[in-house]
Amino acid sequence: MAYLRVVPWCSLSEFNVVTEGIKSGTFLGLRHALNVLHIWMTRLPPSKLSRSITCTHHLLLAYFERSQLSLALALMRFVSLVSSEDQDRIKPYAAQSLLSLTRKVGMPCWLADLRNDIAHGSLPSIELLERGFWWSLECVRDFWVSNTLHFSLIGVTTENSFRECRDRLTVSRIS
């Protein structure tokens, strides 16, 4: 039995637009990636989008808003969502400290402290928030690049092969 997953992108090239925009780190590249992510956010309900898409969207949106509060909230959401993924999946009823969760996923301690300051203390400086943004964007970039590599390893390299792969999955599901 084949398991299908609904994704918000219509083609591999659309997925690559986001990846390349994030990889570039330039204003225009990030803006282009955000525009595509806006479209994706309309294609599926938020509960059906992966955490990585949601985090990337919120981080880029806050970056372009140039608001200290927006950036703080996006970073808080990023740290909370990324660090709690294993806990939510494996032990949803066993609470662990944020610091231990962030260590498990390889986040630096200062990012967990930054998140706690945002949630429970005073708003950190814009410089510290921007540092957190660029670290988080690097983390997100690794995710997007690794998934692009995954597509190439399973043989999805062109629009046609993407459609062929989708069609094969559809046929195998029907059979």
How many CA atoms within 13 Å lie on the side-chain side of 34?
Answer: 16
Amino acid (1-letter code) at residue 90: I
Q: What number is the average pLDDT over the span 35-61?
A: 92
What are the tens digits of pLDDT across the range 98-116? Answer: 666 666 767 888 888 888 8
Q: Is residue 91 part of a domain?
A: no
Q: Are 172 and 2 in contact (CB under 8 A)?
A: yes
Q: Is residue 113 part of a domain?
A: no
* pLDDT for residue 107: 80
Q: C-alpha 32: how far from its chain's center?
A: 15
Q: Is residue 33 part of a domain?
A: yes
Q: Is residue 154 part of a domain?
A: yes
Q: Is residue 85 part of a domain?
A: no
Number of domains in the chain: 1
CA-based angle 91:115:132, to the nearest 5? 115
Domain extent, residue 33, equals 12-74+123-174
Q: What number is the average pLDDT over the span 127-139?
A: 93
- Tokens representing 147 are 């998934």
Amino acid (1-letter code) at residue 140: V
pTM for the structure as a whole: 0.78
- Cβ atoms within 10 Å, residue 72: 23
Handedness of CA 136, 142, 145, 151 (dihedral sign): negative
Q: Is residue 53 part of a domain?
A: yes
- For residue 161, pLDDT over 70 is answered with no
Q: Is residue 87 part of a domain?
A: no
Q: Are 34 and 60 in contact (CB under 8 A)?
A: yes
Q: What number is the average pLDDT over the span 121-135?
A: 93
Dihedral through CA 66, CA 70, CA 75, CA 78, nearest 10? -120
Q: Is residue 56 part of a domain?
A: yes
